[in-house]
Amino acid sequence: MKHDKECSFEMKEYSPSLELTPKTGCWKVSKKDKSKEAMKENAVVLSNVEKETALELSISGSSSLSPHLDNFALTELTKPSQMLTNADLAMDNVLSEDSELYIPMLLTQPTPTLNLHLEEDGLCYLEYFEQEVARFMCIGPRDSNYFIKTFFTVASSEEPVAYALAAWGGVYFSGFSNEKVQSYKRKAYDLVKKRYLENTNLDSYGYYSAFCYFLIAIGAEISSGDVSQWYDLFQQCTDLLKRYGGLAKFCTDFFFSNDVKWLVSYFQHHDIMSSVSLVNGTSCSMDKYNTLFKEYKLLETGNYGLDPVQGCAQPVFLILGEIMNAKVQFKIARDNLADQIQGAISRNSSSFDRRDVLRKQLNLHEEIDRRTTELVKQLNDVEPSKSQISILAESPEEDMESHLTLFELYRQVSHIYLALYIKRVQPCSSEVQLLLMKSLDAIDELIDTRLVTSLHMSLLICGVTCGNDLNRDRIRQFLDRVYARHKTGNLIRVREIIEEAWIRNKKGDFCVDWVEICKDFGWKVSIC
């Protein structure tokens, strides 16, 4: 095809969002990146096809995701506030080899539909997202890269999704503050609000498209280093799912297609990796997640493949969610007990009242001990997803070993969470330091692999746990190495939180709750 202009992938330096930035920033965002300069040699020319006609998405067979599908009318919901309803979960009836109803079209050239929505800059951003961003974010093989398979398919027919995806690519290509990137971001949200959020007769595909939009927009904000807007979008996404009738209904109505499994998994990942969940608990209860992912094995049926962001370690994330909710529960209980103890002392209460408070104190610590023992056993017994391990077994040996190392890293970091935030063990204890040393060694093994994008949470928890200068220097080196490979804004936030924790805890002899730092800064942080 002939083209009027060339679109060179000279990726401009990433610029984090203009949120509150503490005094601990260490990376100079304006410095040149030689790897980006090298992209000039591989300029990609986008097709400049006629914009008068739109190409309908070619789908083999019937599709649960077709925008023209009529038999998915939204039924009246009896419990719209539930994230997981009592919808039919008889998955034996729907999870067969034939349950994946269509093959998503992978885009190697922009379709005429996308050309109608996006001008040259937008197509450039979209192409960059496909060729670079989606590939480094996905830790699985190409055939399970749902960043491309799911999101690009919807972008072919849904204008706001195309704008949102272009904005995400633009975050890395031109920087988040770039005027064109911001323009696509605004256009996407304005259309979503008009077409989906304010539509009282929204059909099932409309909900599906809106779900895709929100997950894309959330990802773009997190990549930029945003500390508030992404969570506003996450809350709107949560409200949308409640309005639809919950995650189970969503899965059932779309026949548990691989695309829907991905959307639900990605939503769950954001929920558990949020600083807000360590304050208020997860948006969806872990019982409901466990019903889908453990009881009904949502990601282990059919031909879903290796999860793009959780790999074979999703079972650990489910336990981590339990730990986070337990932290919230016990913090409330401890605070209430502290008030009662203070009240009993200040009022010079009777011996009966004091005995009652002492009994409550005993009961609380017995419950903490019981729950801790239960969670420790779960962490010790958890194993990688067998179906996804079988996929890794067909990959090169070092790839499988890296995924298993990542699984063990998540297990160790979850043990640190449990020790620090529920058992309240001091970070300088031998128990925590042993976990820390094992975790740092695992991070060192993984930094130079393609799983490097999965290290943010581990770097944060290990960072706030480090108490001596030797280990802290090691963390700084790790952060520099990760940032040199992938300059994402949320990693900047991770570093700022870690260094603030070191300022507050110079000798590392007590536990600093990183969520309290976020609250002091007025941040809502995702550590995806």
How far apart CA 510 and CA 312 sit, in angstroms, is: 33
Enter the tokens of residue 374: 């239960």
Give the per-residue pLDDT at 392: 86
End-to-end CA distance of the chain: 39
Please give the structure tokens belonging to residue 60: 């083999």
**How many angstroms from the chain centroid is the CA of residue 469?**
31
Q: How far is residue 187's CA from residue 443's CA, in Å, rounded to a whole number? A: 39
Yes or no: say if 165 and 216 are a contact pair by the CB < 8 Å rule.
Answer: yes
Long-range contacts at 91-96 (CB < 8 A, ≥ 24 apart): 91/256, 91/296, 91/301, 94/252, 94/255, 94/256, 95/256, 95/301, 95/302, 96/302
Q: What pLDDT, on a 0 to 100 scale, did the predictor assign at position 203?
A: 96
Return the structure tokens found at 277.
């969940």
pLDDT of residue 27: 52
**Is 233:181 a contact under the CB 8 Å cutoff?**
no
Element (H, E) at 214: helix 204-224
Q: What pLDDT does 345 receive?
A: 83
Residues in the chain: 528
Considering only CA atoms, which of 430, 431, 488 is closest in space to residue 459?
488
- 3-state secondary structure at position 18: coil
Q: 274 - beta bridge partners?
A: 526
- Annotate 162-199 with b (16+ C-beta within 10 A) or e (fewer): bbbbbbbbbbbbbbbebebbebbbebbbebbeebbeee
Half-sphere exposure of 397 (CA within 13 A, CB side): 0
Domain residue extents for the chain: 99-298, 426-528
Please give the structure tokens belonging to residue 386. 């067998």
| Buried b or exposed e, range 53-90, using 16+ CB within 10 angstroms | eeeebebeeebbbeeebeebebeebeeeebbbbebebe
If one counts every other C-beta atom within 10 angstroms of the C-beta of residue 470, the result is 8
Q: Which residues contact 50 (CB under 8 A, 6 or more apart)?
A: 112, 115
Q: What pLDDT does residue 398 have? A: 57
pLDDT given at position 95: 32
CB 246 within 8 A of CB 87: yes
Which burial class, exposed, middle or buried, applies to 104 when counting CB atoms under 10 A from its CB (0-12, 13-18, 19+)? Answer: buried
pLDDT along the chain (528 residues), means of 10: 40 38 40 36 34 29 30 28 33 33 39 71 95 95 94 94 97 95 98 96 97 99 98 98 96 96 98 97 97 94 93 97 98 94 80 87 97 98 89 77 96 98 95 98 97 98 97 98 95 98 93 96 96
pLDDT attached to residue 267: 99
Of 363, 323, 356, residue with least CA distance to 341: 356
- The Cα–Cα gap between 465 and 428 comes to 8
Q: Collapsing DSSP states into helix, strand and coil, what is residue 189?
A: helix
